[in-house]
Structure 1
Amino acid sequence: MTQLASQPFSNRAAAVFLAGFTFLGLAVSGLAIVFAPSGRIATEIGWRLLFLSRAQWESLHLTLGVFFLFAAGWHVWLHWPVITNLLWQASTRTLSHRREVGLALVTVSLLIALAVLDLPPASWLSDLSDLFKRGFWR
């Protein structure tokens, strides 16, 4: 029989689990908001999903989003040596994993540009949300 109480508390494990569980909560609450009717319609028809109103889902999403920033920051701080080892080759102190870093930067930059310019596929997500908010729930 293992003794859980005798194991020391792990900050790294706590940071990983907090970030992971918060991310899952953000995914669920984000989907609930996407598929929920607009605020006015949700209020008029008394819309609820898993006993929560649209306003409660939005509050939950905002709260989890702010906490996710904290958890992700704590995770990065605790794992900074691992991150720097992924970025820099220790023996030559040169940038390592250039393709992976480049792919991540280009992908995130492209997603930001598509969302800001309201172009597909980012605009499809807005259209889907609008379809549910205004079209599906009328």
Structure 2
Amino acid sequence: MSMRRIISLTAFLSFFVMLLTSVILYIVPQGRVAYWADWRLWTLSKDQWGAIHINAGFLLLLSIILHIYYNWKPIVLYLKNQAKQITIFTKEFNAALILTLILVVGTYVEIPPFSTIINISDGFKESAAKEYGEPPYGHAELSSIKTFSKKMNIDLKAGIKFLEEAGYKISQDTQTLKEIAKENNISPQQIYLIISRESNKESLFSGKTTTLPENPPPGTGNLTLADFCSQYNLNIKIITRSLKESNIVSKADMTIKKIGETNKISPTDIYEQIKLITSKNLEN
């Protein structure tokens, strides 16, 4: 067997794996969404694709180092000028260096086409967030079902009962949503939908609102007002009417971020205004 061929083919195959995983990680949902909805592609999770990407990178790096070792003479020839003297800054090296610097600086200052590439990736992630749904707060799947229920104003005993009626097992209320989901082969998001069934039903018929978290959870700005109200059992008609009374233009299909941009205020201000509306409704 030829070591040169093995190294060259290993570099080629590891590059192919790197290329594939790079494309997948380019379009994969944000971590909070992927973990919440248990996102998978070809049965592999976001973390598993990331692990393959990292290890393939190390294999590619190792094969490139060995490739350089076995092809040192040709590489040295690339660094020689017309006088056959070794010089690092040849015309070819300078061209490669300039291209690399343009990429780094262009990405840093966020100018097209480099910013466009990033924006397209963000677009994929925002679409995924709308499709799969956002968690009510960051890393909600790591909360125990007891803590989660308390934060979301859900009756713990009723929630556990709903899970058992649906055929899912739960050992104790200190288990995290992620652990329960893994044991029952479902996503943390599905657990939330099941245990919140009673509160959703109550809100649907009584019109009562729930207490929002103190600070807006990650990804709140990307939620449409309709999705936001659905997530927190809020009456969207009351919310839009109350926002209008505060001279804030809003529509059900507008994201919180878009509402902020339209009214020239921050998404956080929109969130605080909705929180104020819900607190007033609770008092009444």
For the aligned pair, the TM-score class normalised by the smaller chain equals 0.7 to 0.9
After superposition, the Cα gap between the structure-2 partners of 1:122 and 1:99, relative to the gap in structure 1 and judged at 3 Å, is same
Alpha-carbon distance between aligned partners in 2 of 1:21 and 1:15, rounded to the nearest angstrom = 10
Partner of 1:114: 106
After superposition, the Cα gap between the structure-2 partners of 1:56 and 1:110, relative to the gap in structure 1 and judged at 3 Å, is same
Q: Deviations over 1:77-97 (max 9, x none)?
A: 111111111221586326599
Matched-pair contact (CA < 8 Å) for 1:15–1:75: yes
Matched-pair contact (CA < 8 Å) for 2:29–2:125: yes
Matched-pair contact (CA < 8 Å) for 2:8–2:67: yes
| Aligned positions, number | 130
1:50, CA displacement in angstroms?
Answer: 1.8
Q: Normalized against structure 2, the TM-score is what?
A: 0.42
Partner of 2:72: 80
Alpha-carbon distance between aligned partners in 2 of 1:90 and 1:16, rounded to the nearest angstrom = 29
User: What is the one-letter code of the residue matched to 2:75?
Assistant: I
User: What is the one-letter code of the residue matched to 1:104?
Assistant: A
User: Secondary structure of 2:40's match?
Assistant: coil
Alignment of 1:44-123 (within 5 A): 44-88=36-80, 92-93=84-85, 98-123=90-115
Matched-pair contact (CA < 8 Å) for 2:76–2:86: no
What's the C-alpha RMSD, in Å, of the aligned pairs? 2.2
Tell which has more relative contact order, 1 or 2 (C-alpha 8 A, sep 6+).
Answer: 1
1:126 aligns with 2:123: no
Partner of 2:214: none
Bigger drift between 24-33 and 43-52 goes to 43-52
Alpha-carbon distance between aligned partners in 2 of 1:38 and 1:133, rounded to the nearest angstrom = 6
Alpha-carbon distance between aligned partners in 1 of 2:104 and 2:70, rounded to the nearest angstrom = 27
Partner of 2:4: 12
Matched-pair contact (CA < 8 Å) for 1:86–1:97: no
Q: Deviations over 1:48-90 (max 9, x none)?
A: 1122111111111111112221111111111111111122158
Q: Deviations over 1:93-118 (max 9, x none)?
A: 26599432222111111111112333
User: What is the one-letter code of the residue matched to 1:21?
Assistant: L
Higher share of residues assigned helix: 1
1:21, CA displacement in angstroms?
Answer: 0.8
User: What is the one-letter code of the residue matched to 1:72?
Assistant: I
After superposition, the Cα gap between the structure-2 partners of 1:82 and 1:92, relative to the gap in structure 1 and judged at 3 Å, is closer
Gaps of 5+ in 2: 131-284
Gaps of 5+ in 1: 1-8
User: What is the one-letter code of the residue matched to 1:62?
Assistant: I
Determine what percentage of the aligned residue pairs are the same residue: 25
Alpha-carbon distance between aligned partners in 1 of 2:109 and 2:26, rounded to the nearest angstrom = 20
